[in-house]
Amino acid sequence: MMLTEETTLPSAGLPLATFKAHLHLGTGFAEDNLQDPLLEGFLRAAMAAIEARIGKVLLERGFVLELTRWADPAGQPLPLAPVTEVTAVVLRDAQGVESPVPVARWRLEHDMQRPCLRAAGGVLPAIPQGGHVLLRFRAGLSDDWPGLPADLAQAVLLLAAHFYEYRQDTGLGSGCMPFGVTSLIERYRSLRLSMGVPGIGGRA
């Protein structure tokens, strides 16, 4: 399995001005924008860390999942949530020839924890020997920053500020996340499913 982010969140989609205000940075100076690339990097890092912790995409982007076999011929769980749409299912044989699968052959089962690509009837199409299938989909809790739940937006700002404050500190432990951030994101973390099977991003 290989998961790739196909579309990167543009800089205009990041809450740079809000983050500057959160840091109480001065304004009205000629050097106001000098730190923008640095601040943008901390925002992206904070979003990535929180997405990894809760198993959910914050701002909507496009992804492609490459598989050599189905987890279950009746339905393939998707590794991110919430999935807003599956845009294409494409079979690629060993020679690289692609064959799009008609939309009538599959459907998206929406779920906040474990979305799934289901066969519309029977089973999903067979993956060619030596080939693979590409699932293109879009996932995200919101398509813009204002639409993000307030607690998650605050968690991103807090964590980005933490990264900014300790940017010179190399002694922080791996996976360090301030308590204020963990408390804000806790309710979004994926729960363990029945029979002891963890959900996407489930707790260890």
Buried b (16+ CB within 10 A) or exposed e, 167-202: eeeeeeeeeebeeebeebbeebbbeeeeeeeebbbe
Task: Determine contact, residues 137/90, Cβ cutoff 8 Å.
Answer: no
pLDDT tens by residue, 112-146 = 999 999 999 889 999 999 999 999 999 999 999 99
Distance set, CA 3 to CA 38, 66, 133 (Å) = 27, 6, 12
pLDDT tens by residue, 6-35 = 988 999 999 999 999 999 885 544 456 778
Q: Which residue has the tokens 């002891």?
A: 196
Torsion sign across C-alpha atoms 56, 110, 200, 99 = negative
Closest CA to 177 of 160, 202, 159: 159
Task: Determine contact, residues 97/139, Cβ cutoff 8 Å.
Answer: no
- pLDDT value, residue 198: 36
% the chain with pLDDT above 70: 86
The terminus-to-terminus CA distance of the chain in angstroms comes to 21
pLDDT tens by residue, 27-80 = 544 456 778 899 999 999 999 999 999 999 999 999 999 999 999 999 999 999
Those residues whose C-beta lies under 8 Å from the C-beta of residue 134, and which sit 6 or more positions away, are 64, 65, 66, 88, 89, 90, 92, 98
Distance of alpha carbon 82 from alpha carbon 80, whole angstroms: 6
Those residues whose C-beta lies under 8 Å from the C-beta of residue 168, and which sit 6 or more positions away, are none
If phi over 0 gives left and psi between -120 and 50 gives alpha, with beta otherwise, what is residue 94? alpha
Distance of alpha carbon 197 from alpha carbon 44, whole angstroms: 30
Enter the tokens of residue 29.
């100076």
